[in-house]
């Protein structure tokens, strides 16, 4: 997982199928998601968006009744190959959830939590760790707000600040891919705008795949868009094209609010 293969795609799936017990949730998903851009994943509830997202960093396998076949390549490497360690997958592929989930620790310890797990061999000094923490908080546009209260509990932050902190927590381990599952669903409009601004700021530094029910958000905050329906990929293209001139009637019906 450490060496990036020569590919233009951050994620490539080939005939990906997934079952929860006897229920099939994904059907022959073939996708090529470009490196370094923001891709949104849209579709009605239950269409397989979050299932797909959680397959990309192997969260689904925590459930003993999940079965998967097909492949998911991240930066040219199948993450389900036997020689791929789960710890390396989680280091390279960061995940942001619907509700902010800061740890009941200080702001400083939250930012460095993943770093201390994944980068123990580096034996960084306190001052080096402080530099790493500051850089992460600056990247998520949070440093100026929290620099004078780094020892305060992270749970005291606003929801918007908590979500930014959760993104900051991923950055010190230098991931290549950020997965975001409805990252603004718990935020008010102002907080949503702030997190969208952050996502756009991170564009190019990371490949970002964002699941959203918010059509306006998908249109504003992504460069390519994937529409899923009943566990299948219906359409994938430039976001503007998907919203303005969709190729499939199902896409048009969903975007125009006829169902879902």
CB distance 250 to 234 below 8 Å: yes
Quick one: pLDDT at residue 119? 72
* Cα 111 off chain centre by: 17
Q: Say which DSSP state 107 is in.
A: H
Distance CA 63, CA 51 (A): 12
DSSP string, 209-260: EEE-S-HHHHHHH-SEEEEEETTEEEEEEEHHHHHHS-SSHHHHHHHTTS--
The 10s digit of each residue's pLDDT in 16-68 is 999 999 999 999 999 999 999 999 999 999 999 999 999 999 998 888 899 99
Question: Among residues of the chain, what percentage have pLDDT more than 90?
Answer: 77
H helices of the chain, in order, are 49-56, 86-92, 107-118, 126-139, 143-146, 159-170, 189-202, 215-221, 239-244, 249-255
Q: Which token pair is 120?
A: 């123990």
The mean predicted confidence, pLDDT, of the chain is 91
Task: Categorise residue 242: left if φ over 0, alpha if ψ from -120 to 50, beta otherwise.
Answer: alpha
Quick one: pLDDT at residue 61? 82
Quick one: pLDDT at residue 6? 46
Q: What is the average pLDDT across 150-162?
A: 96
Q: What is the dihedral of CA 93, 173, 4, 224, to 10 degrees?
A: 40
What are the structural domains, with CATH classification, of the chain? 9-255 (3.40.50.300)
Q: What is the average pLDDT across 183-187?
A: 91
Phi first, then psi, for residue 236 (nearest 5°) are: -145, 120
Phi first, then psi, for residue 68 (nearest 5°) are: -130, 140
Distance CA 156, CA 117 (A): 24
**Nearest CA among 250, 195, 238 for reference residue 217:** 195
Contacts (Cβ under 8 Å, ≥6 apart) of 25:
18, 19, 48, 51, 231
In the chain, % helix, strand, coil (3-state, to 5) comes to 40, 25, 35
The 10s digit of each residue's pLDDT in 114-132 is 998 877 666 788 899 999 9
pLDDT grade, residue 152 (50/70/90)?
A: very high
CB distance 53 to 66 below 8 Å: no
């Amino acid at each position: 997982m450490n060496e990036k293969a020569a590919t233009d795609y951050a994620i490539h799936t080939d005939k990906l199928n997934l079952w929860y017990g006897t229920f099939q949730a994904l059907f022959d998903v073939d996708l090529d998601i470009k490196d370094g851009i923001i891709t949104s994943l849209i579709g009605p509830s239950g269409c397989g968006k979050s299932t797909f997202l959680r397959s990309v960093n192997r969260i689904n396998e925590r459930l003993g009744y999940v079965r998967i076949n097909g492949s998911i390549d991240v930066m040219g490497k199948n993450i389900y190959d036997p020689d791929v360690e789960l710890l390396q997958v989680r280091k390279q592929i960061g995940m942001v959830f619907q509700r902010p989930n800061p740890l009941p620790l200080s702001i400083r310890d939250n930012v460095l939590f993943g770093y201390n797990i994944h980068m123990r061999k580096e034996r960084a000094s306190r001052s080096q760790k402080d530099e790493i923490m500051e850089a992460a908080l600056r990247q998520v546009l949070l440093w100026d707000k929290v620099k004078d209260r780094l020892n305060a509990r992270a749970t005291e932050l606003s929801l918007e600040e908590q979500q930014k902190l959760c993104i900051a927590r991923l950055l010190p381990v230098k991931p290549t891919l950020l997965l975001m599952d409805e990252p603004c669903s718990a935020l008010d409009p102002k907080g949503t705008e702030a997190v969208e601004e952050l996502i756009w700021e991170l564009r190019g530094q990371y490949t970002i795949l964002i699941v959203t029910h918010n059509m306006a958000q998908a249109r504003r905050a992504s460069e390519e868009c994937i529409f899923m329906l009943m566990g299948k990929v219906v359409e994938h293209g430039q976001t503007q094209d998907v919203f303005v001139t969709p190729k499939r009637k199902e896409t048009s019906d969903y975007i125009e609010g006829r169902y879902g």
